[in-house]
Structure 1
């Protein structure tokens, strides 16, 4: 049985001109910005979701429409979809924390419809929803375990912050007492995993005074020296 492990929101094209030129001119940029911004909340939901086995789905997609003509639930290729009402102009007028709250409530709205329609147990979905609220919508984490330097005097870790408008990562280097002796930003990217996931391949000390984050294909090193 497939396991539900991904959650997403989309902003389907509202047909006005009904052609590619109209989409490129009036909708594509808005949609891409929305798709980037929602990931800080949906990925936080995923991190707090304890995986759920379903008969046909590995992903939940909530389509945000100005007017959702119906709330029909359908599953295509393992992706269970539903449409909900959403005011995109209002969304873009909000400050970041209010955007996050609206993203989560919209995701939960869609999930509730799907759960009710499919007869899924709502408890795990409700639990993940509450955990996002409990951590104040902050999607921060340490990538992998801290790495000890060859001389055993320092620990290095990569601290990540995934926000509405950007993703950043810092090297945090501590001595054996736990005191931070160096903190340096090494990544600032668009807030969508497609832009930043490839940075994270290997954390490695080059010497006892220099540590590097090596990308997935080994072609780029982000180095910091003590």
Structure 2
């Protein structure tokens, strides 16, 4: 298999007292009360945690690349208040490991603190997996150091830059994956490489499933106007050079 994905999760923890209260109030069975509790009290918290940590886990994936191994294509780190499974589990190539975590402390951290905490949680889980499988941990640690050296800035250019018709300028799409948003900008440069304009055109949820739909084609509409067209080809955002507005 090829290891290429990494993620954090906030698995559901049943609150027995709360579930008991739902059973009494709704006159329902334990299973139904648990489903209600998850929908009301956990689902959004889990979704929010995944979104807020994805900027770092996605950056880790991009820098890590791929690693051949016997039975794993993804490492999933479960962040739990109390560890109930000390070992690692492998379900169809997804290796799951638990690390101790306090969500209430995490939620009040600022953006940089959340990035640092995310990387620490991820590396703690990876180290447990690496030790269990006798993998060299240095290859994973090197990626962590790269993230720290960039000050946790997950920013990259999408595809190649495109030249305008008269070949005096070229443009590219710059993606900045943050804790609370994915910011997509169009950057215009002179042919000598000097940046002359940068404009944020889209701010989306910080998850590939949300922002990927916007990245279809970057196309010059005229010498001084560039458009980012979505994947379906039915929407676009445009930027005109300031000098020609």
Give the TM-score of the pair, scaled to structure 2: 0.88
Matched with 1:7 is: 6
User: 219, 222, 233: which is aligned to 1:207?
Assistant: 222
Matched with 1:223 is: 238
CA distance in 2 between counterparts of 1:53 and 1:180 reads: 40
CA distance in 2 between counterparts of 1:101 and 1:91 reads: 11
Structure 1 unaligned regions, length at least 5 = none
CA distance in 1 between counterparts of 2:233 and 2:72 reads: 34
Give the TM-score of the pair, scaled to structure 1: 0.95
Matches for 1:83-122 after TM superposition, within 5 Å: 83-122=98-137
Matches for 1:14-163 after TM superposition, within 5 Å: 14-16=13-15, 17=19, 19-163=34-178
Q: Secondary structure of 1:38's match? A: helix
CA distance in 2 between counterparts of 1:77 and 1:214 reads: 37
CA distance in 1 between counterparts of 2:4 and 2:218 reads: 26
Structure 2 unaligned regions, length at least 5 = 20-32
Matched with 1:164 is: 179
Q: Which has the higher helix share?
A: 2
Q: Give yes or no for contact 1:50–1:124 (8 Å, CA) kept in 2.
A: no
CA distance in 2 between counterparts of 1:50 and 1:174 reads: 29
Moved more, 52-61 or 168-177: 168-177
CA distance in 1 between counterparts of 2:170 and 2:147 reads: 29
CA distance in 2 between counterparts of 1:88 and 1:115 reads: 25
Q: Secondary structure of 1:181's match? A: strand
CA distance in 2 between counterparts of 1:120 and 1:219 reads: 47
Q: How far did 1:224 drift?
A: 1.6
Matched with 1:192 is: 207
| Residues 63-102 of structure 1 deviation map (CA, whole Å, 9 limit, x = unaligned) | 1111112322111121111111110000001111111111
Aligned length: 225
Across the aligned residues of Structure 1 and Structure 2, the Cα RMSD in angstroms comes to 1.3
CA distance in 2 between counterparts of 1:38 and 1:101 reads: 10
User: 174, 183, 193: which is aligned to 2:198?
Assistant: 183
| Residues 161-206 of structure 1 deviation map (CA, whole Å, 9 limit, x = unaligned) | 1111111011111222433333211110111111101111221112
Q: Secondary structure of 1:158's match? A: strand
Larger radius of gyration: 2
Ranges of 4+ aligned residues in structure 1 off by more than 4 Å = none
